[in-house]
Amino acid sequence: MADDRPIGIFDSGIGGLTVLKELHLRFPDEELVYLGDTARVPYGSKSKETVVRYTRNNIDFLEAEGVKLVVVACNTASAYALPELKDHQSPPVVGVIQGGVEAAAKLTGGRIGVIGTEATIISNVYQQALARLSPGVSVKARACPMFVPLVEEGWVDNDIARAVAHRYLSDLRGEVDTLVLGCTHYPMLKGTIKQTLGEGTRLIDSAEETANMVGQKLDRLGMRASSKEKPPKVRFYVTDSPKRSMEVARRMLGQIDIQEAEYVDII
C-alpha cells in the first residue's frame, strides 16, 4: 500500500533546501512540505534548551500538516534535539548526522574532519558517533561560523570566501582524508573547501547521505508514495520574510520547483 502523505522537512532557515532538493530529485513522487524557521535563525549560536524548544515547535507544525515523516535538515537541531526526541515515534524523525557519520566511517583511511556551527561542534555529537562507529579513527572537529552568512550572501567562490576557508581550514590540509560538511549551508561551498584542502580530501555532503537514509526509512516503514505522472508541488513555509527567503533560495539552488514562500505564524 502506498502512503501519499507528505514528507516534512525543517531547518533553522533556508539552508535545509539543499536536503529538500536532494529528496525532490531522488523521490519525485513524494510530496514535500518545507518549513524554514527564518524568524529564529541562526540556531548555531543558541543554547541547547532553546534549540530543543524550537525543534519541538517546528515538528508540531509539520505534524499538523499531516506529514508521514519529519526530516530535521538542520545539523544544529539534529545535534541538540534528536537525542531528546529519540522516543518520538509518530511521525518518525530522521536527522542529518547519522548519514554523514556512516559515510565518513565507511570511506575514511583513518583521519576524519568535521565542520559545523559552534553548537554542532560543542554538542560533540559527531565526534561521539564517529568514535562509536570507528574506534581508533582520529577526528578533528572545527566550527566555521562565518560560512553560513557567506552562503546566504551568495559569496561561495570569491576572494572573501577563499580567505575565510583558508583561515578556518588550511591547517587541515593533508591532515584529514575525509571531511564531513556538518551544516546545511556548507555543500554550497564545496568548490572553495575542496580548493583549500586539496584533492586528497573527500567531502561528505550530509544532504546526499540524508536522502539515502530517508529512502531506506520509507522502504522499511512501507511509506513510499504512489507513482505520479507529474511531481507533486513543494510547499515552502517560512516564519519570517517570505520574499527575502525566496531570493536566497533561488540564489542558493538556482532553478527550483518552488513558486513562492508562504509566511506561517507558529511562534
Q: What positions carry a catalytic annotation?
A: 74, 183
Compute the least distance from the CB of residue 186 to ligand DGL, in Å. Answer: 8
Residues 6 or more apart whose CB falls under 8 angstroms from that of 167 comprise none
Identity of the residue, 58 or 178, whose beta carbon is nearer to ligand DGL in the bound complex: 58
| Location of C-alpha cell 505534524 | 63
Is 67 or 74 the residue whose CB approaches ligand DGL more closely?
74
Name the grid cell of 212. Answer: 539515502
Binding of residue 141 to ligand DGL (CB under 6 A):
no
CB of 251 to ligand DGL, least distance (A): 16
Q: How far apart are CA 90 and CA 188, in angstroms?
A: 32
Q: Which residue has the cell 560538511?
A: 181
Q: Which of residues 2-21 bind ligand DGL (CB under 6 A)?
A: 11-13, 15
Name the helix (H) or strand (E) containing 51.
helix 48-64
As a dihedral over the C-alpha atoms of residue 203, residue 194, residue 13, residue 94, rounded to 10 degrees, the angle is: 0
| Candidate segments 25-33, 70-78, 84-92, 243-251, binder of ligand DGL by CB under 6 A | 70-78
114 beta partners: 141, 180
CB 189 to ligand DGL: min, Å: 12
Q: Which residues pair with 203 in a beta bridge?
A: 179
Judged by CB under 6 A, does residue 58 bind ligand DGL?
A: no
**Touching ligand DGL, residues 194-233 (CB under 6 A):** none
Q: Does 75 bind ligand DGL (CB under 6 A)?
A: yes
**Binder among 6, 36, 44, 113 for ligand DGL (CB under 6 A):** 44
Residue 143, CA distances (Å) to 44, 138, 156 in order: 10, 17, 17
How many other CB atoms are there within 10 angstroms of residue 66's CB atom?
12
Nearer to ligand DGL, 11 or 30 (CB): 11
Query: 13 or 99, CB closer to ligand DGL?
Result: 13
> How many residues lie near ligand DGL (CB under 6 A)?
18
> Cβ of residue 66: shortest distance to ligand DGL, in angstroms?
24
- What is the SS3 assignment for 10? strand
Query: How do strand 202-205 and strand 32-36 relate by DSSP bridges?
Result: unpaired
User: Smallest distance, Å, CB 147 to ligand DGL?
Assistant: 9
On whether the CB atoms of residues 77 and 50 are closer than 8 A, the answer is no
Name the DSSP letter for residue 67.
Answer: -
CB of 172 to ligand DGL, least distance (A): 19
Interacting residue with ligand DGL among 17, 150, 183, 225 (CB under 6 A): 183
Assess 120 for contact with ligand DGL (CB under 6 A).
Answer: yes
Interface with ligand DGL by CB under 6 A: which residues?
Answer: 11-13, 15, 41-44, 74-76, 116-117, 120, 148, 183-185
